Amino acid sequence: MPGIEIQQLDQGNQEAYAAFFHAVPEHILYASPTHLAYLREVLDGPVEHTLLAVRSGRVLGALPCLVQRHADLGTVMNSLPYYGSNGGLMLSPGEGEETAAVLLDAWHDLARRLDAAAWTIVENPLAPMANIMERMGGHTLRDWRTGQLTPLDGIRPGHAADDLFAIFHQKTRNMIRKAQKSGLRFVRDESVEGLAALHDLHSRNMAAIGGRAKPWRAFAAIPRFFRPGEDYRLYLATDEADGIVAGLLVFFCNRTAEYYTPAVKASHRQCQPVSGLVFLAMQDAVERGMAWWNWGGTWLSQDGVYRFKSRWGTRDFPYSYYIAVRDVGLFGQAPEALQRAFPHFYVRPFASQLAAEDARSAGEHAIVP
């Protein structure tokens, strides 16, 4: 058998990568060809260096990668950047340490060639790689998250409402009932106007917790890369007097539904509209044959967020950020300076007193009803 060749993802091997990506149900949204293209546009500056392990034209494995360069502070590599997007080692069924080792060698070679000041690989909770990384990773630091996912495989299409209620905590059931009795209307609306309403609510929510909101262009770009109704759905809660009071953006990729952007108007939070929207979206996910509802990563310090998600019948999937700081000068840089120099990229862990602030910038998964 011919050996494994390392290629970088480009137009010439895009179709082969897409076939590889969609052949493995555990591959989730963030490393998809479409999402990588979306990131390149939304981040406006990073260069993609996604690595493919190829044999006889067939992709056996991949390690997605985006790179950000700063004139003074050097180069940072992430797999992947942007609100905790999961990247990590991706392997075809039956592929093991040989392919993983070739990809990691190529990663380290890329870091040397780019003279990277730091790199981070964010593990996919459905494709753990701790054993391989501990032996071959070359990282010097490690950060942790708890992935929380609700399994949907046991939920029967046509009976999703009853089956889901059976796995939810009593408090979650009560929140859903409260939403259903609130008089609000729960609808789907993937229009530009719907996305604009979600962006407005999202911006207000993030401002209220001192977080960093996604700009409008991140929402406006979604229909250019993803198919409305197929790749993503937008659920809205409307009030007869106040209009749109909550929204939930969900992506569907392979067999995982992604809880991507929830948002709620402060005046209607007590009505639990997001819970009503999640319940509706989860039923749609079941009917579409999704195996998992992914709530995203939770910081170890986010007790309230963890508790809220856990009551939706979740399972815990701990995962890691594998980090190498190759330029120790980065430890002397203030977190704010690093965030300005490398927006949306993970550079290094911050001190414990700043971790909560960084968590607020990590994404709107911290927003709960």
Do domains 5-143+319-349 and 153-290 share one topology? The answer is yes
Every domain of the chain and the residues it spans = 5-143+319-349, 153-290
Q: Rounded to whole angstroms, what are the CA distances from 307 to 171, 174, 302, 312, 366?
A: 11, 15, 9, 9, 11
Question: Band of the pLDDT at 230, cuts 50, 70, 90?
Answer: very high
Rg (CA), the chain: 20
Q: What is the pLDDT of residue 351?
A: 63
Which token pair is 176?
A: 């859903």
- pLDDT tens digits, one per residue of 261-303: 999 999 999 999 999 999 999 999 999 999 999 999 998 888 9
Work out the mean pLDDT of the chain and round it to a whole number. Answer: 93
Strand extents, DSSP E, 102-224: 116-122, 141-151, 185-188
Band (pLDDT 50/70/90 cuts) for residue 367 is: low
pLDDT digits (tens, 9 = 90+) for 11-24: 999 999 999 999 99
CATH class of 153-290: alpha beta
Q: Is the pLDDT of residue 359 over 60?
A: no
CATH class of 5-143+319-349: alpha beta
